[in-house]
Amino acid sequence: MHPVLKLVAQRVALGLLLLLAVSAVIFLGVEALPGDTAQAILGQSATPQALANLREKMGLDQPALIRYFHWLGGILTGDLGKALTNGQDIAQAIGQRLGNTLFLAACAGVISVPLAILLGLVAARYNGRWPDKLISGITLSTISLPEFVAAYFVIYLLTQLIPIFNPVAMVFPGMGFWERLHAVALPVIVLVLVVLAHMMRMTRAAILNVMQSAYIETAELKGLSPMQVIWRHAFPNAIAPIVSVVVLNLAYLVVGVVVVEVVFGYNALGQYLVDHVSKRDLPVVQAVGMIFAAVYIGLNILADVIAIVANPRLRHPR
């Protein structure tokens, strides 16, 4: 077997094992919370009789271990079950929201990744001079701003002062592509501001690190322009660390943007997860938790593979 394929297979197997562990941890975590689904639903209006009825109806009177394995069996056969709280089919509800999550992440990623790398290259090229300081200063200040502050700022700027966008970014089936883009413009701007600095700084640092090497000096001596040196000689060797940071940020764009979703009323997975955590809707929490974990683990495997492919030394391990 090709060593790269073998490596990928190993990583995927490890990832699956990790997912299984994650499912157990999520289950234990939710079990450990005070109260249960029945109490969370009935709230102040809970009477012992109503609680007992609801628990029986939801199967909450079964032992935790049985419920866990029952659910695990379901997920392996593609059946995520129904939400305990409103009886909606989980797979269907998640499907649409996962699409929205990925759409937002993709929009933010398509803008922020090339922009961050480009800015990183420029910053490295003018290391220590004013373009470098300007780029670093701006991106560091946007990353230092909490997401919700940045969100309120763009709401004020782009819906009140210059009213070109809507503060509420909900998307619905049946919306055209451009309509969707217009709807998600504000959250995309905020997310770009938030993830830009991390990737930009890493690109800059990785390039500068490679620039210390002797072969760069050779490239310079043979008369290449500074930008050509960076692009053709330094960048290919700095890909591995850049990719790992890019992937980390992409994972964040998928799993970690609940604050932005809430502020803009964007109907994606994060908001869905938070609602169901507060109602102790275990099947939904576990399903979404598993999706987030799978995305995270999957993207990290991807980063590893790209790093290996990009580096001949890792491609042929001894």
Which positions touch another protein (CB under 8 A)?
33-35, 39, 41-47, 49-50, 53-54, 57, 83, 85-88, 93, 152, 155-156, 159-160, 163, 166-168, 170, 172, 262-265, 267, 271-272, 275-276, 278-279, 281
Contact 85, 164 (CB under 8 A): no
How far apart CA 82 and CA 25 sit, in angstroms, is 21
Q: Residue 143 corresponds to which tokens in the numbers above? A: 């990353």
Query: Would you say 88 or 127 has its CB closer to another protein?
Result: 88
Closest CB 157 distance from another protein, rounded Å: 11
Least separation in angstroms between CB 45 and another protein: 6
Q: Which is nearer to another protein, 180 or 311 (CB)?
A: 180
How far, CA to CA in Å, does 210 sit from each of 207, 240, 304?
Answer: 5, 12, 20
Q: What is the DSSP string of 136-179?
A: HHHHHHHHHS-HHHHHHHHHIIIIIIS--S-S-----TT--HHH
Two tokens, residue 123: 């910053």
Cβ nearer to another protein, comparing 69 with 172: 172
Min CB(298)–another protein separation in Å: 25
Provide the minimum distance between the beta carbon of 114 and another protein in the complex, in angstroms, as a whole number: 29
Task: Work out how close the CB of 171 gets to another protein at its nearest, in angstroms, rounded to a whole number.
Answer: 9
- Structure tokens given for 209: 């690190």
CB of 273 to another protein, least distance (A): 9
- In the complex, minimum distance from the CB of residue 88 to another protein, in angstroms, rounded to a whole number: 7
Per-residue CA distances from 69 to 63, 66, 76, 283, 292 (Å): 11, 5, 11, 12, 20
Assess contact for 229 and 212: CB atoms under 8 A: no
* Residue with Cβ nearer another protein (45 or 77): 45
Compare residues 188 and 196 and give the one whose CB is closer to another protein: 188
Q: How far is the CB of 173 from another protein (least distance, A)?
A: 9
The phi and psi torsions of 306 (rounded to 5 degrees) equal -60, -40
State which residue, 86 or 228, has the beta carbon closest to another protein: 86
Between 104 and 297, name the residue whose CB sits nearer to another protein. 104
| Residue among 274 and 314 whose Cβ is closer to another protein | 274
Bridge partner list, 82: 89
Cβ 26 vs Cβ 285: under 8 Å: yes
171 Cβ neighbours under 8 A, 6+ residues apart: 100, 103, 180, 183, 184, 266, 267
